Amino acid sequence: MSEFRTLFPRRTAIGALAVAALALTGAAQPAKPAAPRWSATVSTNDIGAFVVGNPKAKVRLIEYFSYTCSHCADFARLSAVPLKTLYIDKGLVVLEHRNLVRDPVDLTAALLARCGGGKAFAGNHQAIFAAQKSWFGKLQTASEAQMKSWYQGDVGERAKKIAAFTGLAALMRARGFTAAQLDACMDDGVAQAELEGMTNIAFNADKVKGTPTFFINGRNAETTQWPALKTSLDAAIKAP
């Protein structure tokens, strides 16, 4: 009995040391690096468009859109999650957002969406489209005099009137922007010129007829619907 009592604590100690050694060995194993989330990689190209994703992706998707376009809002709603998680985050597709400005209201929304630069763009873009029915619906209540004023003054002055009337300014303040920041975004002459430039490229170089219009690796996808565009993206990814 005395021998058993002597050995038992030693065996327990040896077992504890072995477990501790295994734990240390396991802790020393290097953690598997997390896959990069390419949707967090946002840059601005030479024409001022926001480019989201792996710059070396096999498939380059260009989207021409307008914030006053209901089909564009539908596309933004239906494609946001699958396009991001299945294609952009995996590094398969890089997405270039190009504005095609249709009217002063669209221009106002486009200037506001650019507030905060690339890091804020995706959230601004989705929020503006998600609330489109609300702020766009207010246009129906505008008087002739109010609408006439949207064509008076410089671009920034016009945009500020529209943003206040439609509620776009309130929407952006709710996203954390101050009134001074929003005014600066709407007065931004560089952003105004970039939006005008993208619109000119759409009409003159790419012969875009309406929005949304998509180009996959330089070719018009000939669809405005997410399911059909998804099929085209899959085909482009599988192509040799």
Query: What tens-digit pLDDT sequence spans the chain (240 residues)?
Result: 433 343 334 444 434 444 444 344 445 555 555 666 999 999 999 999 999 999 999 999 999 999 999 999 999 999 999 999 999 999 999 999 999 999 999 999 999 999 999 999 999 999 999 999 999 999 999 999 999 999 999 999 999 999 999 999 999 999 999 999 999 999 999 999 999 999 999 999 999 999 999 999 999 999 999 999 999 999 999 999
Residue 50 φ then ψ, to 5°: -80, 130
Can you point out the beta strands (E) in the chain?
Answer: 42-44, 50-52, 59-65, 93-99, 213-216, 219-220
Write out the two tokens for 108.
């106002």
- Is the distance from CB of 64 to CB of 100 less than 8 angstroms? yes
C-alpha count within 13 angstroms, C-beta hemisphere, residue 183 = 4
Amino acid at 5: R
Q: How far apart are CA 128 and CA 77, in angstroms?
A: 11
Q: From the centroid of its chain, how far is CA 226?
A: 16
Q: What pLDDT is stored for residue 100 in this prediction? A: 98
Look up the pTM and report it.
0.85
Q: What pLDDT is stored for residue 6 in this prediction? A: 37
Give all domains of the chain, ordered by start, each with its CATH number: 38-238 (3.40.30.10)
Write out the two tokens for 180.
């001074």
For strand 59-65 and strand 93-99, is the pairing parallel, antiparallel, or unpaired?
A: parallel
- Is the distance from CB of 116 to CB of 177 less than 8 angstroms? yes
Q: What pLDDT is stored for residue 16 in this prediction? A: 44
